[in-house]
C-alpha cells in the first residue's frame, strides 16, 4: 500500500495554564486539529502514483514480475512503433515530474522526485541513446522471461498455467517484432548471445514447460499448452535461425566510444565522474585485491604461482554439486548474519536454489526475486551448469570451487541480493520498492562479499579468503574491461586474456565475461557501486562521530548494522542521490 507521502501526524498535547490566584486551574485547551497533507504533497502524490500506473500499463512484463498479476501474460508492444511511443511517453513523464517545484515538497518527497527522474533518464538512455532495441538481443530477455509463471508460487498452478498460455501465445508476435527491429549487421558477440538466448527459449518451451504443468488435470488446458509451446518454440527457432544466418555478416563494432560511455555512467547512475577517475579507482582496487591475494597465497600455497594458488582453491569442488552445496551454505550464512548482528532480516522468507534454465546461462549465477506486490512468493537462486559443447576439461573448471561458491551465495542471497530485495519489497513507498538500480543492487551484493570477511566470515581460513578475493578480482576486471572495450579499442580476445591472467578465471568464464562486456557495458557497476558504498559508509560513520558518536575505529563494526539498515531503507536509488540524503552535499563519491 502506498504511503501518503509528505503527511505528518498531529501532535496531541495538553497545554497547562498558570494557576490562578484562587488556586483554581482552568480546563486544558482543546487538542490541536490534525494537519492533513499539504496541497503540494497531495499534488506530488498524484504525479507519483500516476507515474507508477502509467509505467505498469506500458511495461506489463515488469508489472507482472513486480506482483501486479492483473497484467499476467501480457507483453509490451516492442514493435518499432511501440518503441517510439514508449520514448515519447518517457519524455512526457519527465516533463511532468520536472514541472513539480522541489522546494514545495518535504525532504522525502524531494528525494522521490529525484528518484523518479533518475528512473526515466536511465530508461531513456538504454532505449534511445544506445539504440539497443535495434542491435542488442539482451535488451529483450527480461521482457520475455517466462520464469515467474513456472517457479513462483503466487497462485495455484492452473491459474499460472492460464497466464503462461496467454504469454506463450504472444511470443510469435514478439519474435516477429524482434526480428524486424534488429538491424544487420550486428556485433558478433550480440549475434552469439541472441542465438543462445532465443535458441535456449525454444528448447525450454519444447522440453521443459510441459513437466511444470503436468499435474493440471484439465485436458483442454493441456492441449492448449501443447499448441502454444509448439508455436512459441517455432517462433524462437525462427529468430535463432535468422541470427545464425547473420553470423557471416557480423562485425566487431560494439564500442560505445568515450562520449556515450560517459553519458551512460552519468545518465543511468547519476555518477558525475570522468571515465579516467573511475578507471583509476578500479585499477587501485585491482591492485589492492591482487596484493591481498598474493599475501594469502604465500601461506596457502607458498611454492606456487598466484595462478596455481587460485587453481588449488578452485579445484576443491562441491562434493554433491554446486546446487546442493549452495543450499547448505545459505543456512550457515543466515546464522552468521544473525549471530554477528550484520544487518536486520525483515521477514522469514527463504530463497530456493535451482539449476538455471537453458535460455539464461550466460552468467554463472543469478537470483530471481519476488516482486514488492507479491506476498509469500519464493525467490530462486539459479546456478548455471557448464555448456555441454565445451571440452570436458573446460566444463570441470567452470564448476566453482567451494570457496568461490560461498561468496557467490553471499552475493546472491545472504546478505546480498535476496536480503536487499527483502528490504526494498518491504518499503511502504512503492516507488522506492519497485525500481532498484544496477550500481545499488550489484554494488551492495559485491560490497557484502568483502564486508562479510571483515565481519569474520572464514576468519583464519586462507582458502575462503582466496575465494572472496577471486570474486573481487573478477569484478575489478569487469570494470577495467568495460572501459577498455568501449573507450580504448580493446578487443574481446584482449578482454578474455585479462580475465584469465588478472582475475584468474577459467576459460569458459573468461569467454563469457569478455563477451558480456560488449553487450552489458554497465557491468562496471559491481565494483563502482561497491567502492561508492564503502566510501559512503566511512563518511557516514565520520559524520556520526562529528555529531557526538564515538570516532570510528578500523576494526569497530558496532555501527555497521545501523549503516546497513539505513542504506537498505531507501529502496534502490542511484548511490549519489542516496549519499546526499545520508551525508549531505560535498565529499567525493570514491
Residue with the three cell numbers 498479476: 69
Output the pLDDT for position 38: 79
pTM of the entire structure?
0.91
Rounded to whole angstroms, what are the CA distances from 322 to 93, 200, 266, 414, 464? Answer: 45, 22, 38, 16, 16
- Predicted pLDDT at 574: 98
CA distance 236 to 176: 9
- Cα–Cα dist 250/548, whole Å: 62
So what's the pLDDT on residue 544?
82
Give the up-direction half-sphere exposure of residue 318: CA atoms within 13 A in the CB hemisphere: 19
> What are the strands, taking DSSP E only, across 153-312?
none
Question: What residues have CB less than 8 Å from 590, skipping those under 6 apart?
Answer: 273, 277, 278, 281, 531, 532, 535
- Per-10-residue mean pLDDT of the chain, 590 residues long, equals 32 29 41 63 92 97 97 98 98 96 94 97 98 97 92 94 98 98 98 96 95 96 98 98 98 98 98 98 98 97 96 96 96 97 95 88 86 92 93 93 97 97 95 96 98 96 98 98 98 98 95 97 98 97 79 78 97 97 93
Distance, CA of 565 to CA of 56 (rounded, Å): 29
Q: Strand 351-355 and strand 379-383: pairing? A: parallel
* DSSP labels, 119-177: HHHHHHIIIIIS-GGGT-THHHHHHH--HHHHH--SS-HHHHHHHHHHHHHHHHHHHHH
Q: CA dist 484 to 288, 443, 479, 590, Å?
A: 20, 20, 9, 20
Domain locations in the chain? 39-129, 138-249, 261-317+415-529
**pLDDT in the model for residue 36:** 64
Overall size of the chain counted in residues: 590
Q: Are 582 and 556 in contact (CB under 8 A)?
A: no
Amino acid at each position: 500500500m502506498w504511503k501518503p507521502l509528505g503527511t505528518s501526524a498531529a501532535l496531541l498535547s495538553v497545554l497547562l495554564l498558570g494557576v490562578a490566584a484562587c488556586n483554581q486551574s482552568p480546563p486544558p485547551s482543546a487538542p490541536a486539529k490534525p494537519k492533513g497533507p499539504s496541497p503540494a504533497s497531495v499534488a506530488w502524490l498524484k504525479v507519483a502514483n500516476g507515474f507508477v500506473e502509467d509505467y505498469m500499463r506500458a511495461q506489463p512484463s515488469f508489472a507482472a514480475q513486480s506482483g501486479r498479476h492483473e497484467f499476467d501474460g501480457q507483453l509490451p508492444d516492442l514493435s518499432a512503433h511501440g518503441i517510439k511511443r514508449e520514448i515519447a511517453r518517457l519524455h512526457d513523464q519527465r516533463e511532468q515530474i520536472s514541472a513539480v517545484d522541489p522546494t514545495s515538497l518535504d525532504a522525502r518527497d524531494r528525494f522521490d522526485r529525484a528518484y523518479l527522474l533518475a528512473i526515466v533518464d536511465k530508461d531513456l538512455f538504454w532505449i534511445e541513446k544506445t539504440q539497443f532495441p535495434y542491435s542488442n538481443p539482451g535488451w529483450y530477455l527480461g521482457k520475455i522471461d517466462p520464469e515467474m509463471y513456472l517457479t513462483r508460487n503466487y497462485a495455484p498452478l492452473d491459474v499460472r498455467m492460464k497466464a503462461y498460455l496467454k504469454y506463450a501465445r504472444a511470443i510469435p508476435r514478439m519474435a516477429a517484432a524482434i526480428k524486424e527491429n534488429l538491424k544487420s549487421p550486428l556485433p558478433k558477440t550480440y549475434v552469439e548471445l541472441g542465438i543462445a538466448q532465443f535458441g535456449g527459449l525454444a528448447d525450454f518451451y519444447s522440453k521443459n514447460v510441459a513437466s511444470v504443468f503436468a499435474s493440471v488435470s484439465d485436458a483442454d488446458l493441456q492441449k492448449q499448452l501443447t499448441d502454444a509451446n509448439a508455436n512459441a518454440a517455432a517462433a524462437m527457432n525462427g529468430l535463432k535461425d535468422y541470427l545464425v544466418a547473420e553470423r557471416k555478416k557480423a562485425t566487431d563494432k560494439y564500442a560505445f566510444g568515450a562520449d556515450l560511455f560517459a553519458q551512460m555512467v552519468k545518465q543511468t547512475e547519476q555518477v558525475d565522474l570522468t571515465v579516467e577517475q573511475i578507471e583509476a579507482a578500479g585499477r587501485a582496487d585491482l591492485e589492492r585485491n591482487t596484493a591481498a591475494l598474493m599475501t594469502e597465497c604465500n601461506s596457502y600455497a607458498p611454492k606456487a604461482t598466484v595462478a596455481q594458488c587460485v587453481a588449488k582453491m578452485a579445484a576443491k569442488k562441491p562434493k554433491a554439486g554446486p546446487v546442493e552445496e549452495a543450499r547448505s551454505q545459505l543456512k550457515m550464512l543466515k546464522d552468521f548474519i544473525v549471530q554477528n548482528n550484520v544487518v536486520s532480516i525483515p521477514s522469514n522468507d527463504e530463497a530456493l536454489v535451482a539449476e538455471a534454465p537453458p535460455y539464461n546461462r550466460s552468467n554463472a549465477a543469478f537470483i530471481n526475486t519476488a516482486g514488492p506486490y507479491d506476498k509469500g512468493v519464493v525467490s530462486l537462486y539459479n546456478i548455471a551448469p557448464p555448456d555441454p559443447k565445451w571440452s570436458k576439461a573446460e566444463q570441470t573448471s567452470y564448476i566453482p570451487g567451494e570457496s568461490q561458491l560461498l561468496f557467490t551465495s553471499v552475493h546472491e542471497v545472504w546478505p546480498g541480493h535476496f536480503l536487499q530485495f527483502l528490504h526494498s519489497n518491504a518499503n511502504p513507498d512503492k516507488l522506492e520498492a519497485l525500481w532498484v538500480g544496477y550500481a545499488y543492487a550489484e554494488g551492495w551484493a559485491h560490497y557484502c562479499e568483502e564486508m562479510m570477511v571483515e565481519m569474520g566470515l572464514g576468519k583464519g581460513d586462507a582458502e575462503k579468503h582466496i575465494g572472496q578475493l577471486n570474486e573481487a578480482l573478477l569484478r575489478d576486471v569487469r570494470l577495467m574491461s568495460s572501459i577498455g572495450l568501449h573507450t580504448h579499442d580493446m578487443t574481446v580476445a584482449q578482454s578474455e586474456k585479462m580475465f584469465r591472467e588478472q582475475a584468474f578465471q577459467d576459460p569458459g568464464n573468461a569467454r563469457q565475461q569478455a563477451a558480456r562486456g560488449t553487450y552489458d557495458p554497465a557491468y562496471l557497476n559491481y565494483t563502482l557501486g561497491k567502492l561508492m558504498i564503502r566510501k559512503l559508509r566511512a563518511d557516514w560513520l565520520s559524520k556520526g562521530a562529528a555529531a557526538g558518536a564515538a570516532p570510528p575505529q578500523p576494526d569497530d563494526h558496532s555501527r555497521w548494522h545501523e549503516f546497513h539498515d539505513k542504506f537498505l531503507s531507501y529502496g534502490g536509488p542511484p548511490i549519489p542521490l542516496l549519499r546526499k540524503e545520508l551525508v549531505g552535499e560535498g565529499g567525493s563519491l570514491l
